[in-house]
Amino acid sequence: DSGVTQTPKHLITATGQRVTLRCSPRSGDLSVYWYQQSLDQGLQFLIQYYNGEERAKGNILERFSAQQFPDLHSELNLSSLELGDSALYFCASSVGVGPAGELFFGEGSRLTVL
């Protein structure tokens, strides 16, 4: 158990819909990262938050947005969903903003868009 909690574990929805994925980082970790894992793209970095502020951005679509709340949990919002958004979405947390510590990953949220 990494200590990172992601909900829901599985989600099935239709094209055009909007979903929210939630992540609670390990106790004491200030950084939260979101990754998307799909068969064709592999593991892709989406976005990082550190202590409530956006820190780094990767290949995140404009239809996607995220935020980190004062209690440090984070939410990833996916809107106008397309079939290609079907993937496993991972949240990871770390103590600091850089690579000084390892990233601890949650078990992922599997999104299926029909």
Partner 1 sequence: AQKVTQAQTEISVVEKEDVTLDCVYETRDTTYYLFWYKQPPSGELVFLIRRNSFDEQNEISGRYSWNFQKSTSSFNFTITASQVVDSAVYFCALSENSNSGYALNFGKGTSLLVTP
Residues from 47 through 86 that contact partner 1 (CB under 8 A): 48, 55-58
46, two tokens: 């989406």
Instruction: Tell me the closest approach of the beta carbon of residue 16 to partner 1, in angstroms.
Output: 27
Residues from 89 through 108 that contact partner 1 (CB under 8 A): 90, 92, 97-99, 102-108
Q: Residue type at 70?
A: P
In this chain, which stretch among 11-19, 21-29, 41-49, 70-78 interacts with partner 1, using CB under 8 A? 41-49
Instruction: Write the secondary structure of the chain as one string of H (helix), E (strand) and C (coil).
Output: CCCCEEECCEEEECCCCCEEEEEECCCCCCEEEEEEEECCCEEEEEEEEECCEEEEECCCCCCEEEEECCCCCEEEEECCCCHHHCEEEEEEEECCCCCCCCCEECCCEEEEEC
* 42 part of the interface to partner 1, by CB under 8 A: yes
Distance separating alpha carbons of residues 25 and 97, to the nearest angstrom: 14
Nearer to partner 1, 78 or 104 (CB): 104
Nearer to partner 1, 70 or 99 (CB): 99
Nearer to partner 1, 16 or 58 (CB): 58
* 8 part of the interface to partner 1, by CB under 8 A: no
- Per CB under 8 A, residues contacting partner 1 are 2, 33, 42-43, 45, 48, 55-58, 88, 90, 92, 97-99, 102-108, 110
